Amino acid sequence: MPYEFILSETDGRLGRITLNRPEKLNALSNELRGELYHALKEHEADPEVGVIIIKGAGRAFSAGYDLNPTPTPSEYVHPRSGLPDVGTTHPNHYDWSRHTILANWMIWELSKPVIAQLHGYCLAGGTELASVCDFRIVSEDCQIGYPPVRAMGTMDMMWAPWFLPPAKARLFAYTGDAFSGKDMEWMGWATYAVSADEIDEFTDTFARRLAHIDNDQLAYSKRAVNRQYEIMGIHTGLMSGSDVEAMSKHRPAAGEFGRISREKGLKAALEWRDGPFRDFRGAYSSAPHDRPLAGSGASDEKPLEA
C-alpha cells in the first residue's frame, strides 16, 4: 500500500526509506513513525535486501517529534492509543519515553544493518532514531542536539552516555546545545562525516560495499555486537532513563512550556525555550556573543519541532 509520510523503495541489495514531511523538517508524527516501522519490517522480510538506509527529504533529516500534531487516520497506528503499533505501546500516564525506546529498539533487533543518513538538523527524537541504527553517516554541517532538555524534561532515550565521551554526554544532555556532524564523528557517534554535496553518493557506496556480505553473516555480526552492549546493560539503562524522564515532567516548572504554547502558540514557546541560548531560533542567530559556545549550532533556519 502507498505511504503518505515516507517513501520506500528497493534498489538491488538496498532498501531505502525517506522521511517525507519536508515542509515540517520531517517532524516525527505518530503517523510517520508508524509508516517507518512498517516499511522497516517489509525490508527486513525481503530476502533480496541486505542493507537498509533511512534518510530525510528536504532541508533536514528530522527536527524531532512533532509538537503540534494533526492526527491523521492511519492503519499503521493503534486505533486506541494512537501510537505506532510495534508491540506494547505503554499508553499509560507519562509512558511516552518508554514507548519511544521500545519502538526504536525494534531497529536494534532487526537482523539487517540500518544506516542513518543525516543532514540539516537531527534533533531530539531524530537523534534517538539515528542512535539505534548501526551506522550514522552525517553531513559535516549537520546540527545534532536535544533542545527539549532546556525546559521540557530529560531525554526520552538517554543514549548520550553510551555513545559519547562522559564530558560531552553531560554537555549534550544538560544544555541541549547542538554539535556539528564533524564534531560527532570526532566523538565517535557518527561513523563518517562528509560534505553535504557528497553524502548521497558516499552513503550509497558504503551501503553497497556492506551489502556484498550475505544476509546471514551480517545478521550474526550485528547480533554479536549488540549482545555485548546488552550484557553491559544498555537496554536496562535506557529504560531506567525513561523513569527519570517521567519524574522530570513532574517538577514545578515542567508545565511552563505547555502553558506558553497553549496561550501564545508553539513558536512563542520555542522562542521562550531556545531564545536565551541564541542558537536554534533564527531571531537570535545574529545577536552578539561574548564567546560562542562550541557546537552551539547557530543558524538562520528555524526548526519548529523537537
Calpha distance 113→135 (Å, rounded): 8
Classify residue 237: in a domain, yes or no.
Answer: yes
Classify residue 242: in a domain, yes or no.
Answer: yes
Higher pLDDT, 185 or 284: 185
Domain that holds residue 176: 6-216+224-248
- According to the model, what pLDDT value does residue 281 have? 62
Supply 164's cell numbers. 559519547
Classify residue 174: in a domain, yes or no.
Answer: yes
pTM tops 0.75, yes or no: yes
Statement: residue 44 has pLDDT above 50? yes
Provide the pLDDT confidence category of residue 282 given band limits of 50, 70 and 90.
Answer: low
167-176 LR contacts (CB < 8 Å, sep 24+) = 171/295, 172/145, 172/146, 173/146, 173/149, 174/149, 175/149, 175/150, 175/277, 175/293, 176/145, 176/146, 176/147, 176/148, 176/149, 176/150, 176/274, 176/277
Q: What's the total number of domains in the chain?
A: 1
Provide the pLDDT confidence category of residue 305 given band limits of 50, 70 and 90.
Answer: low
Per-residue pLDDT of 3-16, as tens digits, reads 999 999 999 999 99
Classify residue 182: in a domain, yes or no.
Answer: yes
Per-residue pLDDT of 174-183, as tens digits, reads 999 999 999 9
Classify residue 133: in a domain, yes or no.
Answer: yes
Per-residue pLDDT of 51-99, as tens digits, reads 999 999 999 999 999 988 777 888 898 877 788 877 766 667 778 899 9
The CATH number of whichever domain residue 77 belongs to comes to: 3.90.226.10
Classify residue 255: in a domain, yes or no.
Answer: no
Q: Is 245 in contact with 154 (CB distance < 8 Å)?
A: yes
Classify residue 105: in a domain, yes or no.
Answer: yes
